[in-house]
Amino acid sequence: MSESGLPADWRTRLERLGQRNFEIREMLRLGFLSAADPLRPGETNAALLAKIAELEQLQAELDEVDDVVASASRIETLLEEIRRERLASSALRKAERRRAREEQARQKQLAWATQRCERPPYLGAGVSTRLQYTGGDDDALASAGLPEVHTVLELADDMDTTTSEVQWLSYHRSVTTIDHYNRFTTPKRSGGTRTISSPKPRMRQAQTYIKTHILDQLSPASPATGFRTGLSIVSNAEPHVGAAVVIRMDIKDFFPTITFPRVRGYYESLGYNPGIATVLALLCTDSPRTAFRFEGDRYYAASGPRALPQGACTSPSLANLVARGLDERLIAWAAGRPESWTYTRYADDMVFSSNDANSDVASLIATVHTIVQDEGFSVNERKTAVMRAPHRQMVTGLVVNDVVRISRRQMRRLRAFLHQCEVRGLNAMTESLGTDARCAATGHLAYVNMVNHDQALKLLQRHPWIQREPLSPPGVRSRSRPGRTPSSTQSAVTPVTAGVTRLELADPPDGGKFWEVWVDGATLYRRYGPLGAPGTTSEKAFSTPEAAQSAAEQLIQNKLSGGYRPA
């Protein structure tokens, strides 16, 4: 309070309320007026005081606004600050949206990369139409003992390689700077040259997996004697010994006729989905290529459709398997004829024989032409030969008139070669031949031994320098390979458990293989691998125990047909 008895802020109140309102307020405060006294007609001092209080409130708010306005030098400064805040907020929201879009794009790109890695949608022009990785028949694969793979990632894992490696090897290019094969030509016995496509190491590794884990688990038709473990040209010739008539027919361009679509279709028929079947077919086929240079770089241009390359380890097995329908039709027709024809096939060389000298040869040749064409092949008519006894009858280079033997002409040439080696010396003959003369002589001796062991022993007695080790009869090894146990002792390495059916493929060139099959409830178990090794175990669940048992029986039957025997 001031000395005059007025409040300290009386001047401020006077300015806010006005003189009249200030005086009334002070008179009420000092007791000169009471709140009940009417100041105006119909209006009490209390009502007036309420209006004065409301006026004071409004005045206080107005003062606050005045303070804000007074604190700003210019209104533009406030507007600029508001604008900056809005721009900063907008930039923050834009940055958040940009980060969200970038994350979404990254996730989409990652998903696309994963899809391209696991399920590539494109592997080159003309071969990518069926790259769908759905479908397939797992039960069929399991019953055949084949790897159950559904994506390129699973296939690469089974191959112990990467998906990029599988795609690099399988990608089809019409013109490329990369060739996965070493190509060279060899002379044909009938004239001309044959192109050999030998896979390079990385392609060979992929093809070896396919051959070992897929193709070797399947059995071609029984007439096919070529490229099969334990069989040879002798096996192909023996069924025709002593026949009255022998007919030899040749399939024209056997490997080139088995093109990429046929190989893909075969893999699909096994139970693989179209995508995996496409990848497997691309790994097993290739186009013939012509090399050329352009602006200093070397290119390889495809000069034909993709087909089985001669030189790949998968080609012989695939040729036999794709031609299974042809073999089955021919053997069924031949066996049903009154002449009772015998049929075998070694690669592209088909042989028919009969003991009936009056057999209808023309009918057979016409029927074979029709069946061969129906199965997608063609007959090379220039190589068709009809050989009747007692004239010389040749099957896969061997005489079959009375017994399987090498022709006299071949033996005379071999004896002359061995005589020249002894007269002129091995070094001179090596220089003349362009290859090691001793190795050539050893190879000739092995060929004779395969056909006639006694004849080979006589040759070795007359020319002991050919081979330092004693000859073994055909099908028996003279010594075990390093690191391998003879097959006679291998069957005891892994004991057969109760309820397990064990099958073994005895003494093939790779040391032997085994399969063990058993059923537990509705689950089929399979263990397979080289003889003497623990093997790989896999399982397949079925809807019922009966279905599992049926699949096991089918698997065992397939293995028995492929040369396996119960242990």
**pLDDT band at 113; cut points 50, 70, 90:** confident
Q: Distance (Å, rounded) from C-alpha 207 to C-alpha 381?
A: 33
Phi, psi of 108 (to 5 degrees): -65, -40
User: Residues 112-130: what's their mean pLDDT?
Assistant: 87
What is the pLDDT at residue 497?
A: 36
Amino acid 229: pLDDT: 84
CB 286 within 8 A of CB 178: no
Q: Rounded mean pLDDT of 416-421?
A: 93
The reported pLDDT for the residue numbered 496 is 30
- Poorest-confidence range of 173-177, 281-285, 527-531? 527-531
502 Cα distance to chain centroid: 29
**Weakest mean pLDDT among 115-119, 268-272, 431-435, 531-535:** 531-535
Q: Which amino acid is at 192?
A: G
CB 417 within 8 A of CB 442: no
Q: Is the pLDDT of residue 523 over 70?
A: yes
pLDDT greater at residue 480 or residue 196:
196
Q: What is the mean pLDDT of residues 67-72?
A: 66
Residue 474 has pLDDT above 50, yes or no: yes
Question: For the residues of 341-404, what is the DSSP string, one character each?
Answer: -EEEEETTEEEEEES-TT--HHHHHHHHHHHHHHTT--EEEEEEEEEETTS--EETTEE-SSS-
Query: Alpha-carbon distance 104 to 217, whole Å?
Result: 46
* Percent share of the chain, pLDDT over 90: 52
Instruction: Average the pLDDT over 303-309 and give the result.
Output: 96
Average pLDDT over residues 253-275: 96
Beta-bridge partner residues of 38: 44
Give the pLDDT score at 18: 74
User: What's residue 494's pLDDT?
Assistant: 31
- DSSP category for residue 506: -
Mean pLDDT of 458-477: 76
The residues spanned by each domain of the chain are 10-71, 119-213+259-307, 225-251+324-397, 408-462, 487-566
User: What is d(CA 446, CA 474) in angstroms, rounded to the nearest whole number?
Assistant: 9
Q: Write b or e for each residue in 333-357: b if 16 or more Cβ atoms lie within 10 A of its Cβ, otherwise e.
A: bbeebebebbbbbbbbbbbbbbeee
pLDDT surpassing 70 at residue 485:
no
Q: What is the pLDDT of residues 190-199, one digit of tens each?
A: 777 888 999 9
pLDDT at 242: 93
CB-CB contact of 448 with 455 (8 Å)? yes
Where does the pLDDT of residue 476 fall: very low under 50, low under 70, confident under 90, or very high at 90 and above? low
> Which region holds residue 126: left if phi is over 0, alpha if psi is between -120 and 50, else beta?
left
- What is the pLDDT averaged over residues 502-528? 71
Q: What is the mean pLDDT of residues 206-223?
A: 94
DSSP count for the chain of H helices, then E strands: 21, 18
Lowest mean pLDDT, pick from 48-57, 175-184, 266-275: 48-57
Mean pLDDT in the chain? 84
| Residue 20, pLDDT score | 72
Six-digit token string for 494: 């892994």
pLDDT at residue 533, rounded to an integer = 67
Count of CB atoms situated within 10 Å of the CB of 377 = 20
Q: Is the pLDDT assigned to residue 411 strictly greater than 60?
A: yes
Rg value, the chain, Cα: 47
Residue 525: the pLDDT is: 81
Predicted TM-score (pTM) of this structure: 0.67
Q: Whole-angstrom Cα distance, residue 541 to residue 139?
A: 9
CA angle (478 as vertex; 474, 481 as ends), nearest 5: 115
Which residue did the predictor score with more confidence, 92 or 496?
Answer: 92
Q: Which residues contact 45 (CB under 8 A, 6 or more apart)?
A: 24, 28, 33, 34, 35, 36, 37, 38, 39
pLDDT at 181 over 80: yes
Residue 334 has pLDDT above 60, yes or no: yes
CATH architecture of the domain covering 487-566: Single Sheet (2.20)
Q: What superfamily in CATH does domain 225-251+324-397 come from?
A: Reverse transcriptase/Diguanylate cyclase domain (3.30.70.270)
Pick from 71-80, 100-109, 308-317, 469-478: least confident: 469-478
Encoded tokens for 30 = 């000092």
Report the pLDDT value the prediction gives residue 287, as an integer from 0 to 100: 95
Residue 124, pLDDT score: 93
Residue 1 reports pLDDT greater than 60: no
CA–CA dist 276, 133 (Å, integer): 7
Q: Is 148 exposed, middle or buried (0-12, 13-18, 19+ CB in 10 A)?
A: middle
Residues 6+ positions from 20 with CB-CB distance below 8 Å = none
Query: What pLDDT is recorded for position 61?
Result: 81
- pLDDT tens-digit map of 342-375: 999 999 999 999 999 999 999 999 999 999 999 9
* Least confident among 50-59, 194-203, 459-468, 534-543: 534-543
Q: What is the mean pLDDT of residues 79-86?
A: 86
pLDDT at 481 over 50: no
Per-residue pLDDT at 39:
60
Predicted confidence at residue 65, as pLDDT, reads: 77
pLDDT tens digits, residue range 5-24? 677 777 777 776 777 777 77
* Mean pLDDT in residue range 258-279: 97
Alpha-carbon span 524 to 544, nearest angstrom: 11
Band of residue 498 on the pLDDT scale cut at 50, 70, 90: very low
Sign of CA dihedral 127, 133, 134, 135: positive
- How far apart CA 264 and CA 282 sit, in angstroms, is 8
